Structure 1
Amino acid sequence: SDGHKPASPVPGAAWLAHAADLFGGLLGGCGAGCQGKDGCLVARASQRGAAVAPVLGSVVSFDQTPTWRDPPRSSKAPSLISGFSFDSHVSGMGLRPPSDWPESMRAALRELKALMAADDDFKRHQALGFCRDADLCRFLIARGGQPVPAARMLRQALRWRSKRMPYWLLSDPKSDVARSFEQHSRTGKVHVRGRDRFGRSIVTMDGSVENLWYGPEQLRFLAYNLEAALCECAEGVDKLTLIINLEALTLGQAPMFSIRETLEILQVGFPETLGTCVLWQPPAVFKTLLQLTKHLIDGKTLAKVVAVVGDSEAGSHNDQVMTQLFGDEWREATGMGMPRFERAHSMWFGREVWGARGYIHAPHWAQVL
């Protein structure tokens, strides 16, 4: 809207630097980014103290210091989920104003900002709406309130964000990014499905319906969905519920580099974001895969994993677990236990595959746009 367009789409860090140059000096005018052939990049007009973020079909504005509201607590804590607490599973400290934080955390925040003040990546991602106090708080909590380890983790996250760029608003269905993401969404391998009983956005993943080759675009698509899901949480909620359907898992289903970066995305790119992870019907081979990757998963993440194995009929233990997390209509809410409605050709498997359970592409993609 300010007349600036890149001559050609520039991926990755170069495009990030270009976008930051455009947005860094804005006092007014375009606060939503630069529309080019490669899609619409979303950035924060920091001078106005506002930001925009990618959401399924809309733009959400939020202040640099989020407004604190009590998270939805009409539901009791699920008695069948060991160790569940609202502070660690639903709504973290970062949503509260810093004035409500312990003095030790406020001091750690000041030190972390000082450590990152001269970092070019930090400045660039600030221009894109990241690195707010709430974001920095996540890194501090993940590293026990220690600024130096938190700074190391933040630098790693910023390198990843420069590489994958999750800040996309799919306002133009003909843009390169929108067309790429639409292809990736055909089978519902990663998609956002509303909220659970606690106001947390639900993200479902199913590697058995992979339809394209594994690569950078597939991982950027995952990052986009996580960023969008965070914006879809209820007010006062900053955690996600992740459901991974493993019923058709095989050892050769996903390459190790993809598994490694997926774990990096969840633990480093989006620290302190996971509320609950439901592993749906993991087969025996999953134990082998877990042994291969367990050293990559921190203990806090493992403590939030819930495995649903075996009978899920009404009245069963698994039915009660899912009801406590998602409500009586948990099958419709999560897609688990629902039929697979659509088929699509998979380049990865070299044949037609059924899509994700409960997923119908056309209405979902219309909602994304």
Structure 2
Amino acid sequence: MSVDLKKSGANGSDKPTVLEEQQEKIKEVRKLLGELPDKLFIFCSDASISRYLRARNWNVKKATKMLKETLKWRFEYKPEEICWDEVAHEAETGKIYRSNYIDKFGRTVLVMRPGCQNTKSTKGQIRYLVYCMENAILNLPPEQEQMVWLIDFQGFNMSNISVKVTRETAHVLQEHYPERLGLAILYNPPKFFESFWTVVKPFLEPKTYRKVKFVYSDDHGTKKIMEDLFDMEQLESAFGGLNQSGYNINDYAERMKEDDKRMPLFWSRENPAAFSGPSSATIPCFNPVNSECDSDDSDKEHVENSSPCGLASDHLSEVNLLEINGGGNSTMEIQSGSDKAT
């Protein structure tokens, strides 16, 4: 005998299921967004709208406002059009890269090493981080929306900290990549980092900082976190695993170039994983504005009107997502994807 879950047990009257209610809210957001050009509508799948609704506790108006801001940011910044040739110089030391393994939940893993900072351009560092985030999303399996950050603190010192950049990048990550970060593992953070964490924590949503886990190689209790999350045969030895292979810029460059070829198709109607919803219209929901950056003049390098990837890449706006940078302008990011983070 089948049971109709849509009926309320008390009086037999129709009652929407949770999923139906959520779907109605998704439709409300789409209606409030209004008509969008194809290029932006592709970022408004049901799954994407749902992430913004979850980030705003299913408040339709707040989620719509948040998503509109993201659409404006994507319109100006065009993160999906950044390609390897633009950011390769930032990747030389392996300060951020996508690992060639996933966790036990199928989540993409981004390795971050703030002590390996090799550039001074704030905009360049952040642009590379955005590239890495977009690449991580590209490589998520269809059933998974979130990623894991492995943050290695070897070689990290006080000069790698910038509260200002952290605050800005935290804002972009939380506002434009909601529900994307599943877990951030801080591996062997130095003692002084605890004070910095106390300063940064108020900038983060509660659901965000709860996703941050401190792991120490000499603490058997926290080491179990790694064993529960990863296949230790695949996990790099730097994080307590058995994989002795390290970061190789040449091998990584080949992987990224191949991924760059896949990106245009990923953000297209031909990819059902990236798009679901009614046919799009052609009128933007906002007036795009050229935003000014507050970073130094050296940031102007690598910001071109046309992308070396052959994609129509415009000027970008400035704030980028969370990053772990080193050097004078660097960031220490610690974000998560629950409430508002990636």
How far apart are 1:331 and its partner, in Å? 3.5
Q: Which runs of 5+ in 2 are unaligned?
A: 1-15, 258-342
How many residue pairs get matched?
240
1:291–1:164 Cα change, 3 Å: farther
Identity %, equivalent residues? 26
- Say yes or no: does 1:364 pair with 2:278: no
Distance 1:169 1:221, change over 3 A: closer
Once the two structures are superposed, what CA deviation does each residue of 1:333-367 show, in whole Å capped at 9, x if it has no partner? x853589x9xxxxxxxxxxxxxxx93121111111
| One-letter identity of the residue aligned with 2:37 | K
Matched, 1:152 2:65: yes
Matched, 1:327 2:231: yes
- With over 3 angstroms needed to count, the CA separation of the structure-2 counterparts of 1:124 and 1:220, relative to structure 1, is farther
Using structure 1 for the length normalisation, give the TM-score: 0.59
Task: Give the structure-2-normalised TM-score.
Answer: 0.63
Contact kept? 2:25, 2:60, Cα under 8 Å: yes
Give, in whole Å, the separation in 2 of the partners of 1:163 and 1:212: 24
Equivalence map 1:220-231=2 (5 Å):
220-231=127-138
Aligned to 2:159, what secondary structure does the other structure show? coil
Select 1:142's aligned residue among 29, 35, 55.
Answer: 55
Q: What secondary structure is seen at the aligned counterpart in 1 of 2:79?
A: coil
Q: Secondary structure at the match of 1:237?
A: coil
Q: Secondary structure at the match of 1:203?
A: strand
Superposed counterparts of 1:251-262, under 5 Å: 251-262=158-169
Name the CA distance, whole Å, in 2 between partners of 1:338 and 1:102. Answer: 40
Q: Secondary structure at the match of 2:71?
A: helix
Question: Structure 1 residue 292: deviation in Å?
Answer: 1.7
Q: Quick check: 1:112 aligned with 2:29?
A: yes
Provide the rounded CA distance (Å) in 2 between the counterparts of 1:338 and 1:212. Answer: 29
Counterpart selection for 2:123 from 204, 213, 216:
216
What's the offset of the Cα at 1:267? 1.7
Match of 1:102 among 1, 19, 40: 19
Instruction: Say whether the 8 Å CA contact 1:223–1:265 is kept in structure 2.
Output: no
Higher strand fraction (1 or 2) = 1
- Partner of residue 239 from structure 2, selected from 331, 336, 339: 336
Tell me: CA distance 1:296–1:308, structure 2 relative to 1, closer, same or farther (3 Å).
same
| Preserved CA contact (<8 Å) 2:104 2:231 | yes
SS class of match (1:276): strand
Instruction: Flag structure 1 segments of 5+ consecutive residues without an equivalent.
Output: 1-98, 171-177, 342-356
Cα-Cα RMSD: 2.7
Highest relative contact order (Cα 8 Å, sep 6+), 1 or 2? Answer: 2
Task: Report 1:1-369 matches (<5 A).
Answer: 102-118=19-35, 123=37, 125-126=39-40, 129-168=42-81, 170=83, 178-194=84-100, 195-311=102-218, 316-329=220-233, 331-332=235-236, 335-337=238-240, 358-369=246-257
Match of 2:182, SS state, is strand
Contact kept in structure 2, 1:187 and 1:210, CA below 8 Å: yes
Which amino acid letter does the alignment assign opposite residue 183 of structure 1? H
1:93 is matched with none
